Amino acid sequence: MTLSPTTIAPLAIHGGAPVRPAWLPYGRQSIEEADIAAVVATLRSDWLTTGPKVDEFEQAFAAYVGTKHAVAYSNGTAALHGACSAAGLGAGDEAITTPMTFCATANAVLYQGAKPVFADVRSDTLNLDPVLAAAKVTPRTKAILPVDFTGNPAQMDAFMALAAEHGLTVIEDAAHAVGAEWQGHRVGSIAHMTTFSFHPVKHLTTAEGGMVTTNDDALATKLRTFRNHGITRDSRQRELAGDWFYEMSELGFNYRLPDIACALGLSQLQRIEANLARRRAIAAQYDAAFASLPQVVSPKILPDANPAWHLYPIQLELDQLSTTRGEIFRALRAENIGVNVHYIPVHLHPYYRQNLGTKPADFPVAESAYARLISLPMFHGMTDQDAADTIAAVRIVVGHYAK
């Protein structure tokens, strides 16, 4: 590539001035006065947990994604655990999922005593490959857990067809994908169950929190019971009935999301479309800026997908660079650009290697991508200058190391 005059100056990692004076994280929450007021109002109410705000948040979220039921959980991992329980996963069962995800996806299968079975990802989207997943189905397979990696929807029509053929439950891990769409249908309305996360770096936050959506009445009942110790009625239901009686019908967990968090979620949900629009605008800026940079590969989006852009991961063409991904990573952070890496493939973690016998080279597409991935800052509170600084830093750093 031809270097511009700005690329001649030394990089910050080599003692030069950074692109920006202040740190730009890869993601962060956006809290407005309306959010604070909503939380304060709930703090002044009679209910801090298992109260009316939980029902309100669930109903509003279900309406947003276009599904019958939404069941709030204390975090996204708890939501995954609840979904795996509702699907009936247990000892001797298997669930097919992707190695290109945060470990919570596969961990939730283990929590139920079942075995996660990995299949490799597509080389373009880095989502679970439906063809490779189909090849992993056995008589022990009970569920499929596709992940909407970075907020880019998985091929849900293919997974639902595979599930129908073999009598499986599809649990879509949409922790990254609030507001995303596949074939014109909003994520959360397609799979048998879909799980979401409301961590601060997500599209809306409840500080910690999660949700499971479903159109199945029986699954919704199981999800609600599981999050409340396996008890059939919560304290507000007993209060409204003027009764004290309850029964524990199964072994459950305390995975409830309090009213304080739900009040914050309700307030944030009102801005979800604006948040999505902002993230999509930033992604478009990145796409345009890196289209002419041969050392950088931008995310691939299939025609049927409308992504939510939780993350914007680039892949480095290392054969066109004179250094490693690690050095590029450190150089960008020295420019005050808070890049990150998502994710170390799950099968490479020590626990999985020691307990499931997974090993390097088991899933070459995921491993090849991991070696080249860097996540750029992506959050709806970013300004145009933040995006411009990120673009400038990538150009300068990549230009410095370009062959």
Average pLDDT per block of 10 residues along the chain, 403 residues long: 54 98 98 98 97 97 98 98 98 98 98 98 98 98 98 98 98 98 98 98 97 98 97 76 84 97 98 98 98 97 98 98 98 98 98 98 98 98 98 98 98
- Helices 52-65, 259-269: axis angle to 10 degrees equals 30
Long-range contacts of 65-68 (CB under 8 A, 24+ apart): 65/186, 65/187, 65/188, 65/189, 65/194, 65/213, 66/185, 66/186, 66/188, 66/189, 67/188, 67/189, 67/194, 67/213, 67/214, 67/215, 68/214, 68/215, 68/216, 68/217, 68/220
pLDDT of residue 244: 75
pLDDT of residue 233: 76
312 pairs with which residues across the strands?
Answer: 376
DSSP conformation class of 188: T
**Which pair of tokens denotes residue 307?**
């992504």
Q: Which of 193, 107, 87, 96 is nearest to 140 (CA)?
A: 96
DSSP 287-339: HHHHTT-TTEEPPP--TTEE---S-EEEEE-GGGBSS-HHHHHHHHHHTTB--
Task: Report the run of H or E that residue 237 belongs to, with start and end.
Answer: helix 235-241
Under DSSP, is residue 255 helix (H, G, I), strand (E, B) or coil? coil
pLDDT of residue 225: 96
pLDDT of residue 2: 40
CB 51 within 8 A of CB 58: no
How many C-beta atoms lie closer than 10 Å to residue 379's C-beta? 24
Give Cα 119 to chain centroid, integer Å: 18
How many Å apart are CA 264 and CA 34, to the nearest integer? Answer: 9
Token pair 């990696």 in the structure block, residue? 149
Work out the angle at residue 67's Cα, subtended by the Cα atoms of residues 66 and 71, and round it to the nearest 5 degrees. 125
pLDDT of residue 7: 47
* 374 CB-contact burial (10 Å; exposed 0-12 / middle 13-18 / buried 19+): buried
CB 121 within 8 A of CB 127: yes
CATH class of 33-269: alpha beta
**Which pair of tokens denotes residue 324?**
């490693």
- Beta carbons within 8 Å of 164's beta carbon, 6+ residues apart: none
Q: Are strands 181-182 and 305-306 parallel, antiparallel or unpaired?
A: antiparallel
User: How is the chain split into domains, by residue range?
Assistant: 5-27+272-401, 33-269
Q: Which of 172, 163, 169, 148 is nearest to 100 (CA)?
A: 148
How many Å apart are CA 340 and CA 120, to the nearest integer? Answer: 22
Asked whether the domain spanning 33-269 has the same topology as the one spanning 5-27+272-401, the reply is: no
Task: Report the run of H or E that residue 392 belongs to, with start and end.
Answer: helix 384-401
Under DSSP, is residue 174 helix (H, G, I), strand (E, B) or coil? coil
Task: Report the run of H or E that residue 106 belongs to, with start and end.
Answer: helix 104-111
- Beta carbons within 8 Å of 150's beta carbon, 6+ residues apart: 126, 176, 299, 307, 309, 310, 311, 312, 313, 342
**Which pair of tokens denotes residue 27?**
């993601």
**Which pair of tokens denotes residue 385?**
């200058």
Q: Which of 142, 202, 222, 359 is catalytic?
A: 202
Does the bond joining 343 to the residue before it have cis omega, within 30 degrees of 0?
yes
Give CATH for domain 5-27+272-401. 3.90.1150.10
pLDDT of residue 6: 44
142 is annotated as an active-site residue: no
